[in-house]
């Protein structure tokens, strides 16, 4: 039979190992960044051209766009088009161009191809109505 002090020591040791393992996993996570050379829209919000970090928050469906200076933060909800991971070299953001405005349409990355919920009812942009920006992982 294990005494209460020994049981507490085992639990605390297990918790410490879990925390350390979680920190090791977090350090392996790479930061997705994109330099977007034009003003763009996510749903009804206008964002200026600039350097953005793209973060998955809590789930693969919720993205957070954060300017590297931290002054701009915008969320985006997505739906999967497929869940086949895209190679880092093929990761990108796809924009739909309409009336001279760039609307974020979809993203390609480690969780596959995902379309913004606000754009999901529209056909995929092509030709002159499409712009692509690569995502770089650091």
In this prediction, residue 10 carries a pLDDT of: 38
pLDDT digits (tens, 9 = 90+) for 81-123: 998 999 999 999 999 999 999 999 999 999 999 999 999 999 9
Beta strands in the chain (DSSP E): 32-36, 40-42, 45-47, 50-56, 62-67, 73-80, 92-98, 101-109, 112-116, 130-134, 136-137
Looking at the chain, the whole-number percentage of residues with pLDDT higher than 90 is 72
């Amino acid at each position: 039979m294990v005494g209460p002090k020994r049981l507490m020591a085992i639990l605390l040791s297990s918790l410490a190992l879990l925390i350390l393992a979680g920190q090791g996993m977090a350090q392996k996570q790479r930061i997705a960044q994109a330099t977007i050379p034009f003003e763009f829209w996510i749903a009804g919000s206008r964002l200026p051209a600039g350097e953005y970090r793209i973060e998955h928050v809590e789930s693969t469906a919720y993205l957070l766009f954060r300017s590297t200076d931290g002054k701009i933060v915008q969320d985006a909800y997505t739906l999967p088009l497929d869940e086949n991971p895209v190679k880092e070299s093929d990761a990108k953001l796809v924009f739909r161009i309409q009336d001279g405005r760039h609307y974020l349409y979809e993203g390609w990355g480690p969780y596959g191809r995902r379309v913004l919920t606000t754009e999901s009812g529209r056909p995929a942009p092509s030709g002159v109505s499409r712009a692509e920006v690569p995502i770089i992982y650091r």
